[in-house]
Amino acid sequence: MTASKDRRRSKRIKHRMVVRFEVGGVSQRGVILDLSEVGLFVQSDRILSLGSELSLTVGSGKQVVSVQGTVVWSLSKRIDDGVECPGGMGISLAAASAEYLQLVHRLRSQAAEAHRPSEERFDVYHRVSFESQGAFLTEYIQNLSRGGMYLATETHLKPNTPIRAKLEIPGVPDPIEVTGRIAYLMSAQKALEVGRAPGVGVQFVDLVPEAKAAIEQYLHRLEVHRCTPERRQVKEIPFSGSLGHYLVPEILLDLHRKRATGLLRLEFRELKTSVYLKQGQPIFVESNGRTDKLGYYLVQKEKISLDAWEASMREVGESDLRYGEVLIKNGWIDGAALAEALIEHHEEKLIHTFPWFDGKFMFSTVTEWPASISIFPLRTFHILFSGIRRWYDPPLIRSWMGLAPESRIRRVSSPSADAPIPPRVLRLLRLIAESRSLLEISAEFKESVDLLLPDIFALILAGWAALDFAQPTKETAARVSRKQAAAPALSEQAMETLKRRIREDHKRLRSLDFYEILGVRPTANEAELMRAYVACTAPYSSTLIENLEDPEACEQAAQIASWIRLAYDTLRDPGLRQIYARRGSKPSGAGRDSQIDIERYLLRGVQTLEQGKVKEAVRLLEAALKQYPDDSSLRGYLAWALFTKDPKEHLQRASELLEDAIQHEPADPHLRYFRGEIFAYLGNWSRAEKSYAQAVRLHPNFIKAAAAHERARDRRIAQERPARVRG
């Protein structure tokens, strides 16, 4: 272990040079990307298996040295977002020769003597489009920094020539428009010597603030995840800062670890979300986003009809009843369904903040809750894993982490025994008790690596898992087999009894009455609450849930454990116990009537458009916008109505109105779908595909958007020419 740690401490030098090695008597060529006294990383088309021993000839011309090494990890060739990325091998060196050590020392000294500040460059492979001699070309970049990029292209571009390009980065909704100049050319011969494709170096010039911020945020994530992946495990996140530096799930995890109680404020452009936490657990979420309103959510999820929503809003405005009470009184929804929808709605509002890669956050301690909030048993880890799975694309995670199918993951710690971890994640944690590659995990789960990446990323953020570059030994494999063989299993009868009790308890506890959940009286003291909590949680410990193979039973058991924990945390706090009974809220204030009116227009507009009544929808939305000219959502829906009426005539105005609406309401799935349709009309299938995908993430049951996404993907694949990979 000590030797392994010493190797990891050896700082690697980023330097490209040619290396040659033999496989089966045939000479192979590769490129060193970084090296140190104890190891190096070689990029090559020929990847050897783990444990392979090889002799390497490093350098060219007079500077040639030989070393012996062993392959300890590898990355296979892969395709990220349509761009083919070369693979490589991590090689641990045996006793390095004096010549090799002198080479490393010389390169290290040269790096130390270079006093000019240099931007960190990352080897990434992303598509980029630009115009040259009147033609629009699509190529790819091979590295990126804050100051520029290396553009792989055979197109003849003169030094100092201005260039405008659009850089496509996975996970970033729109291409980043950059401006720059050609700083240098790299001929085919020179590129061959350093292992690159022929191309040009581009220096960024006069980047607009939006482009600069997008590149800065992306490179910051690369620095965090590739250079200091252990940061989240060793460094606390401040109570205030930039969302460009810290992801929302990272902030939530940190507050959960600290068991913090208070108010977390998140801001992104004009959107603001407030998250109330009790001992690290979210209990209530407020948002000013229009699509985060309860009525909009219930209609979108088909919990109530549009007519029921309109009638309920009128009745709420004319009576003293709360919104939920009106729905139940009129039979539009039952109490259990409403209680479940309220939890899901608050979780959704928090999940909608996960793609906020810009903005700010601030946490403040709060000891007394305002009378306007209610207490809900929100599922922290369900929010974490669902949000990451929805918003962080696998290509983005691969790029951030430098992951590949051969990357190895191992468990470094475990969540607490009573933490309501989703069953799928518990299974994954069990599987990586010993180091496993993503390919091995994929085979075990019978899922693609892409489907696993969001969960792997969440485990790494939580500090429960880490990348592992060590080669597994035969002793390790044997130890895992012994542990698995010794694992206790429930009998079939005990398993059926457990599942039946879970189903019955889940049905009984859905009413969200915390006193019933714990089985205590309203006068129960803290000691009585503790005894009740211990008794209630015993049947739902993580260890017991691990034995379940029924996904539905596992999910219900995890939800029950969450309800029990929050019931205990709430009832043992005198202040929370007093306000526990309040659920839902009644719209109030001078803007109540206009808010109801606008939302009626929006929902009715969607329905009218989907019925094909385009002219009627245009009249409806134009009248609404005339009455409420400052409402951006109305502009977005009017944009789509106008485009549907006559796409050629209204293209420019519709595009401008729609972009403005999305800036203010990024969580509206219909607006994302509308933008996808406009891109499809323009033949820009790549951007259409991304817009449709965003709509489906926001509204998983959006069948029309899902079908359009598949269609756009097929058209994009057919349209793209094969990626050219050189070098």
Q: Are 343 and 303 in contact (CB under 8 A)?
A: no
d(C-alpha 489, C-alpha 582), whole Å = 43
DSSP code string of 576-589: HHHHTT--S----S
In degrees, rounded to 5, the angle at the alpha carbon of residue 86 between the alpha carbons of residues 127 and 456 is 85
Q: Is the pLDDT of residue 586 over 60?
A: no
Q: Which two tokens stand for residue 381?
A: 């880890």
d(C-alpha 261, C-alpha 279), whole Å = 5
Region 358-372 average pLDDT: 86
- Which of 180-189, 204-213, 318-327 is predicted least confidently? 318-327
Per-residue model confidence (pLDDT) at position 487: 43
Q: Is the pLDDT of residue 687 over 80?
A: yes
Q: Is the pLDDT of residue 234 over 80?
A: no
| AA letter at 455 | D
137 φ, ψ (degrees, to nearest 5): -120, 150
Per-residue model confidence (pLDDT) at position 585: 41
Q: Is the pLDDT of residue 376 over 80?
A: yes
Instruction: Give residue 171's pLDDT band: very low, low, confident or very high (50, 70, 90).
Output: low
Beta strand 162-167 with 176-186 is: antiparallel
Q: What is the mean pLDDT of the chain?
A: 80
Per-residue model confidence (pLDDT) at position 544: 56
DSSP assignment, residue 223? I
Q: Count Cβ atoms within 10 A of the Cβ of residue 716 and give its class: 0-12 exposed, 13-18 middle, 19 or more buried.
A: middle
Q: Is the pLDDT of residue 484 over 50?
A: no
Per-residue model confidence (pLDDT) at position 470: 57
d(C-alpha 306, C-alpha 610), whole Å = 13
Q: Which two tokens stand for residue 192?
A: 């061959």
Per-residue model confidence (pLDDT) at position 260: 92
Residues 101-135: pLDDT tens digits? Answer: 888 888 877 766 554 445 677 888 888 888 776 66
Per-residue model confidence (pLDDT) at position 541: 58
d(C-alpha 611, C-alpha 632), whole Å = 23
d(C-alpha 631, C-alpha 377), whole Å = 34
d(C-alpha 78, C-alpha 480), whole Å = 30
Assign 286 to helix, strand or coil.
Answer: strand
> What's the gap between Cα 210 and its chain centre?
21
SS3 per-residue string spanning 611-657: CCCHHHHHHHHHHHHHHCCCCHHHHHHHHHHHHHHCHHHHHHHHHHH
d(C-alpha 191, C-alpha 203), whole Å = 18
d(C-alpha 649, C-alpha 272), whole Å = 36
Residues sharing a CB contact under 8 Å with residue 277, sequence separation 6 or more, in sequence order: 255, 260, 261, 262, 263, 264, 283
- Which of 109-118, 268-277, 366-375, 695-704 is predicted least confidently? 109-118
Per-residue model confidence (pLDDT) at position 588: 45
Nearest to 145 by CA among 10, 243, 13, 14: 14
d(C-alpha 90, C-alpha 579), whole Å = 58
Region 347-355 average pLDDT: 93
The torsion defined by the Cα of 507, 511, 512 and 515, in degrees rounded to 10, comes to: -100
Q: Is the pLDDT of residue 6 over 50?
A: no
The torsion defined by the Cα of 34, 39, 42 and 48, in degrees rounded to 10, comes to: -160
Per-residue model confidence (pLDDT) at position 482: 46
pTM here is: 0.74
DSSP code string of 408-420: EEEE-----TT--
| AA letter at 349 | K
Per-residue model confidence (pLDDT) at position 373: 81
487 φ, ψ (degrees, to nearest 5): -65, 130
- Which of 159-163, 315-319, 499-503 is predicted least confidently? 315-319
Residues sharing a CB contact under 8 Å with residue 28, sequence separation 6 or more, in sequence order: 20, 21, 22, 44, 45, 46
d(C-alpha 714, C-alpha 718), whole Å = 6
Q: Which two tokens stand for residue 725?
A: 């990979």
Per-residue model confidence (pLDDT) at position 558: 75
The count of other CB atoms within 10 Å of the CB of residue 396 is 21
Alpha helices in 29-158 (DSSP H): 98-113
Per-residue model confidence (pLDDT) at position 489: 53
Q: Is the pLDDT of residue 387 over 90?
A: yes
Per-residue model confidence (pLDDT) at position 473: 47
| 570 or 304: which leads in pLDDT | 304
> What's the gap between Cα 699 and its chain centre?
16
Residues sharing a CB contact under 8 Å with residue 662, sequence separation 6 or more, in sequence order: 636, 668, 671, 672, 675
Region 534-542 average pLDDT: 70
- Which of 241-255, 338-352, 402-416, 544-558 is predicted least confidently? 544-558
Distance linking the first and last C-alpha atoms of the chain: 37
Q: Is the pLDDT of residue 693 over 80?
A: yes
Q: Count Cβ atoms within 10 A of the Cβ of residue 181 and give its class: 0-12 exposed, 13-18 middle, 19 or more buried.
A: middle
| 85 or 342: which leads in pLDDT | 342
Q: Which two tokens stand for residue 342?
A: 């309220």
> What's the gap between Cα 276 and its chain centre?
22
The count of other CB atoms within 10 Å of the CB of residue 307 is 11
d(C-alpha 387, C-alpha 351), whole Å = 5
pLDDT cut 70: percent of the chain above it: 83
Question: Measured on CA atoms in the order 338, 340, 346, 349, is the torsion positive or negative?
Answer: negative
Q: Give the start-end residues of each E strand in 464-564.
A: 465-468
In degrees, rounded to 5, the angle at the alpha carbon of residue 574 between the alpha carbons of residues 568 and 579 is 90
Residues 391-409: pLDDT tens digits? Answer: 888 888 888 887 777 788 8
Per-residue model confidence (pLDDT) at position 121: 78
Region 357-370 average pLDDT: 87
Residues 262-321: pLDDT tens digits? Answer: 999 999 888 899 999 988 999 999 998 877 888 888 888 888 888 888 888 888 777 777
pLDDT cut 90: percent of the chain above it: 14
| AA letter at 423 | P
DSSP assignment, residue 122? B
Residues in the chain, how many?
Answer: 727
